[in-house]
Chain A
Amino acid sequence: MLLNYSQPLELNKLTSRIDAALHAALPDYWAVTIELVLVGILIIATYALLAVVLIYVERKITAFFQARIGPNRVGKYGIFQTVADVTKILIKEIIHINRIDKFLFYTAPFFIIVASILTFGAIPFGQGLQAVDFNIGVLYVISVSSLGIIGVLLAGWSSNNKYSMIGAMRSGAQFVSYELSAGIALMTIVVLSGTMQLSTMVESQRYCWNIFNGHISALVAFVIYLISGHAETNRGPFDLPEAESELTAGYHTEYSGLQFGFFYLAEYLNMFIIASIGATVFLGGWMPLQIAGWESFNQLMWFIPSYLWFFGKVALLIFFSLWVRWSFPRLRIDQLLNLEWKYLLPINLVNLLVMVILVLTGLTLTDIFY
């Protein structure tokens, strides 16, 4: 198999070797336990590392948009700036606030971070690099990611602060509406690819990404997914829950230290998660660029490890999201809800129907050309 030798940097060989070694040395029970712990540690470590990288990248890209230089003091090009920031946040005092609902107040950040990590675990980062691969992967991702809103509502409710309260209520309205759009946009693609399992979905996009396969309908779904995904991350023109010019910091006004850090990390990781689901569902995930019939070209593409393909596509979407965030002014709450309920949702429903018709009548690109 030429392919096996052509992928020197793929991580799945390493993982299967570790798996074999563990199973050889230990009873199955212990091997699986150790593997689970390892995977857990790895996911949390990647999560933290990605957050640090993302914060740095965002600050540099924002500086680029805003004709500034950005962090440039800590290390060459300021690359250790976020490390310093994270260290600061870790050792900061957690300020205790009078007259709050203590239990809910201290639980809220965990809801957010846990929901975000749960979603994170289901993302296929590369060939064989997926912690959980449910056969209802898309459904799982949608449902688990919406747990985060509970944390936001709890934070706003328990803070005993009117700004936080307004922020949380806005957030609730926003999340509930845009979940719907994001969900239906993803469902459109589920109809197209006929599966909810993320790994199969990636595999099925080998020669034709879903966004091309479903042409008009998939493109519309992609745009809607980007808008609503953006809204779900509370960023960009949709950052009403924490609209700093009105509500200081919205639902997390009263948090400090690591608890604030949780909100902050989750915000950045949610951006990553939304981008990676977008890349997986619409842009072929970790699958290298493949063109049917061009065998040598395809093999050449496989030399680039699959996780690099994945991160490349995600980076593209993240850059796009930053671009939007730093260009547009903020929407007002009624405009935001109008956009969702009066425009996106009807378009989305019609689009889903169109996709069903496309698939049934065999008008997708793969149906036509292969």
Chain B
Amino acid sequence: MEQIQAQIKNQFPDIDTEEGEILKIKVSPKELRSIIDFLYHYKNLPFNFLKYMIGTDEGETLRVSYILSSSVNPAVNIMVITGTDNRENPLLYTVTDFYNTAQFNEREIYALLGIRFINNPDMRKFFLNQDWVGYPLRKDYDPNPALNPVSVESREINDNSFVIRELPDGSISEEVTKIFDDDDYIINIGPQHPSTHGVMHFRTALDGEVVKKIDIHSGYIHRGIEKLSENLMYPQILHFTDRLDYLSANINRHALCMCVEKATGIEVPERAQYIRTIMDELNRIDSHLLAWSAHTNDLGATTAFIYGMREREIILDIFEKICGGRLIINQNVIGGVMFDIYPEFQKDVKNFIPYMRSRLKEYDRFFSHNVIALGRMKNVGILNIKDAISHAVTGPSGRASGWSCDVRKYNPYALYDKVEFREIIRTEGDSYARYMNRLDEIEESLHIIEQLIDNIPDGEFCAKTKAIIRLPEGEYYQNVEAGKGLFGVYIESRGDKTPYRLKFRSPSMSLVAVMPLICKGEKISDFIGIGGSMDYVIPDIDR
């Protein structure tokens, strides 16, 4: 890390760097692209993985921070910070040509903070309508409903996009581009569609049965969680995390708890760590089971879907017994867990492990080697490792492309450094690899639970915390491995009981963003199947 810092100092002498938990580099918008170019091509440790892209309203300036990491060693992070003083017409340069995942993030920042990015190929607002008045994440946003009345009129979808270009003389021009050709046969898959796994809208241009182009519309259930959080105390915000990716509810909540605990220095009791880890793994199995079921259902096998639900029910029953929640598990709190385990918890979990193993064998016999299933999954929707990294596709889907990106391995949290488990990596990158990865990860999760379940130590299950939790001034972030991939929480605190800016890094957004790329040229039915294999959850995107 010092080496990198020294080289940066050497190459760019007038740049501010600041050491802390991670290296922070402050640059002016003009220098942004050259420093990112330098980091992206850094030898041996190319910073080719854009983990977070965070826009913040700093009052005077509008700031954008990029947390960059390397696909080779995702534990190494560098934060590049840039910003603009122009609040009327803020403009920054895009980094989409380095990181494809920046595409949607920049569109999100445009919608929520009003910063437009020069040379981004598609500069429409994400989540919001193009004619939305105001930028919600700005501190001076006027939430008056009269400004943005709810429309009951049906409105045509405008397929025009915008590109901001900088002319050689320094002036800015705005080009209007068409997303679809005039004679394209466009069908709307979503927002109400059984196979989009939520309220997602894919405008799909078809050539017969073949997908020509996909345009993604999102935001149908955007709840403004990040904005709401700015006025709520930390224990209150906890409840939002469950409602992001509701299938990894416990894991998401774990991330925010850890972030706050890290900032305030709360020591979590050993017993709580055990309970958290076991619950996380149960939650992961639950998430993967649903992913498996939904995927088979997308391929037309209804019976397999119900088999998955049958096993998931047992996990949900365990959750219900431990804390009353089934889908939304209100178990983690700051400092530990809300409820201690119930007396038969260990027995229930230990009964579940061999049962689940036998069911995994059944899935294997029933579906994994079925000729039709293989035909629908093998060599379909191939995502190569380069695109996976560029689109920041993490989780089982990223690992199916051969990218080792398990947070539990490279940045162990809770008890993951004490247990032994394999990171499942496949290199094919097709739907089948993603499908098999999930089934194998269920087995690994069972293995982790097996190592922990008998050794839960006695003691407190929750540390004593102050009634009002204030985070010291600074920036904190915490990554966890959720069911779909890297889930992250970023908190910027000004020493208050509420966060100044809170950002959730959602794994599903990358999974959806990569869909147009891997579905191009596939059949419409495979588009649905690939969607099932990516396993995205929409509320995670529409935060």
Contact = CB atoms under 8 A, between A and B. Distances in A.
Interface in A231-257: 237, 239-240, 243-246, 248
Interface stretch (B90-98, B116-124, B518-526): B518-526
Interface stretch (A65-73, A99-107, A307-315): A65-73
Interface stretch (A182-190, A210-218, A332-340): A332-340
A331 interface: yes
A25 B114 CA distance: 92
Contact of A331 (B209, B296, B372): B372
A166 B195 CA distance: 17
Given A326-B303, A327-B301, A244 B194 contact: yes
Given A67-B306, A328-B370, A329-B372, A334 B300 contact: no
B303 A334 contact: no
B370 A332 contact: no
Question: For B299, B303, B310, B527, which residue has the most chain A Cβ atoms within 10 angstroms?
Answer: B303
A67 B307 contact: yes
16 contacts: A67-B306, A162-B187, A163-B187, A166-B524, A239-B300, A244-B194, A248-B194, A326-B303, A329-B304, A329-B370, A330-B372, A331-B376, A332-B525, A332-B526, A334-B209, A334-B523
Contacts of B472: none
Contacts of B306: 66-68
Interface in B303-323: 303-304, 306-307, 310
Interface in A120-173: 162-163, 166, 170
Contacts of B528: 245-246
A166 B370 CA distance: 27
Contacts of A327: 301, 303, 366
Contact of A328 (B193, B194, B301): B301
A298 B300 CA distance: 45
B298 A245 contact: yes
Question: For A67, A68, A329, A330, which residue has the most chain B Cβ atoms within 10 angstroms?
Answer: A329
Interface string B510-542: 000000000000011111100000000000000
Interface in B95-148: none
B355 interface: no
A172 to B, nearest CB: 13
Contacts of A244: 194
B73 interface: no
B195 A329 contact: no
Contacts of A334: 209, 523
B373 interface: yes
A244 B373 CA distance: 17
B416 interface: no
B297 interface: yes
B325 interface: no
Interface residues of B, number: 32
B302 interface: yes
Contacts, number: 79
A166 B186 CA distance: 12
B375 interface: yes
A245 B307 CA distance: 18
Given A328-B370, A329-B296, A329-B373, 13 more contacts: A66-B302, A66-B303, A67-B306, A237-B372, A245-B299, A246-B528, A327-B301, A328-B300, A329-B299, A329-B376, A330-B299, A333-B209, A335-B375
B185 interface: yes
Interface of A: 65-68, 162-163, 166, 170, 237, 239-240, 243-246, 248, 326-335
A151 B301 CA distance: 27
A239 B299 CA distance: 11
Contacts of B194: 244-245, 248
B234 to A, nearest CB: 41
Interface of B: 185, 187, 193-195, 206, 209, 296-304, 306-307, 310, 366-367, 370, 372-373, 375-376, 523-528
A170 B209 CA distance: 9
Nearest to A331: B372
Cβ-closest 3 pairs across A and B: A330-B300, A329-B299, A329-B301
A332 B185 contact: no
A332 B375 contact: yes
Contacts of B375: 331-332, 335
Contacts of B304: 329
B206 to A, nearest CB: 8
Nearest to B531: A245
Contacts of B298: 245
Contact of B524 (A246, A330, A335): A246
A246 B366 CA distance: 23
Contacts of A240: 525
Contacts of A328: 300-301, 370, 372
A248 B190 CA distance: 10
A161 to B, nearest CB: 10
Contacts of A67: 306-307, 310
A67 B307 CA distance: 8
B142 to A, nearest CB: 40
B523 A332 contact: yes
A333 B211 CA distance: 14
A162 B184 CA distance: 13
A333 B529 CA distance: 13
Contacts of A65: 303
Contacts of B366: 327
Question: For A239, A248, A332, A334, which residue has the most chain B Cβ atoms within 10 angstroms?
Answer: A332
Contact of B185 (A162, A329, A333): A162
Contact of B195 (A66, A245, A331, A332): A245
A329 B363 CA distance: 13
Contacts of B206: 166
Contacts of A248: 193-194
A330 B303 contact: no
Contacts of B310: 67
A163 B306 CA distance: 26
Contacts of A237: 300, 372
A146 B303 CA distance: 30
Contacts of B301: 327-330
A332 B523 CA distance: 8
A66 B302 CA distance: 8
Nearest to A244: B194
Question: For B296, B525, B526, which residue has the most chain A Cβ atoms within 10 angstroms?
Answer: B525
A290 to B, nearest CB: 38
A332 B526 CA distance: 8
B523 A329 contact: no
Nearest to A173: B209
A240 to B, nearest CB: 7
Contacts of B372: 237, 328-331, 335
Question: For B299, B526, B527, which residue has the most chain A Cβ atoms within 10 angstroms?
Answer: B299
A310 B519 CA distance: 49
